[in-house]
Amino acid sequence: MTISVGERLPDVTLVKATDAGPEQVSSSDYFKGKTVALFSVPGAFTPTCSARHLPGYVEKAGDLKAKGVDEIVATAVNDAFVMGAWNSAAGSDDITMLADGNGEFAEAVGLTMDGSGFGMGKRGQRYSMVVEDGVVTQLNVEAPGDFSVSSAEHMLGQL
Per-residue pLDDT of 67-121, as tens digits, reads: 999 999 999 999 999 999 988 888 789 999 999 999 999 999 999 867 667 766 6
What values do phi and psi take at 142, rounded to 5? -80, 145
Looking at every residue in the chain, the average pLDDT score rounds to: 90
Three-state SS string over the chain comes to CCCCCCCECCCCEEEECCCCCCEEEEHHHHCCCCEEEEEECCCCCCHHHHHHHHHHHHHHHHHHHHCCCCEEEEEECCCHHHHHHHHHHHCCCCEEEEECCCCHHHHHCCCEEECHHHCCCEEECCEEEEEECCEEEEEEECCCCCCCCCCHHHHHHHC
* Whether pLDDT at 40 is above 90: yes
Please give the domain boundaries of the chain with CATH numbers for all domains: 13-153 (3.40.30.10)
Rounded-to-integer distance, Cα 108 and Cα 28, Å: 12
Region of poorest pLDDT, from 12-16, 58-62, 143-147: 143-147
Q: Which of 36-45, 46-55, 61-70, 74-83 has the lowest mean pLDDT?
A: 46-55
CA-to-CA distance for 36 and 28, rounded, in angstroms? 13
pLDDT of residue 157 exceeding 70, the answer is yes
CA–CA separation, 135 vs 150, rounded Å? 18
Under the banding of pLDDT at 50, 70 and 90, the label for residue 44 is confident
Residue 109 exposure: Cα atoms within 13 Å on the Cβ side: 37
Encoded amino acid at 47, one letter: P
Q: What is the pTM of this model?
A: 0.92
- pLDDT category, 49, cuts 50, 70, 90? low
Catalytic residue among 49, 111, 139, 155: 49
Tell me: pLDDT of 145 over 90. Answer: no
Compute the distance between CA of residue 141 and CA of residue 67 in angstroms, rounded to an integer. 21
**Does the active-site annotation cover 142?**
no
Average pLDDT over residues 17-28: 92
The pLDDT-based confidence of 140 (bands split at 50, 70, 90) is very high
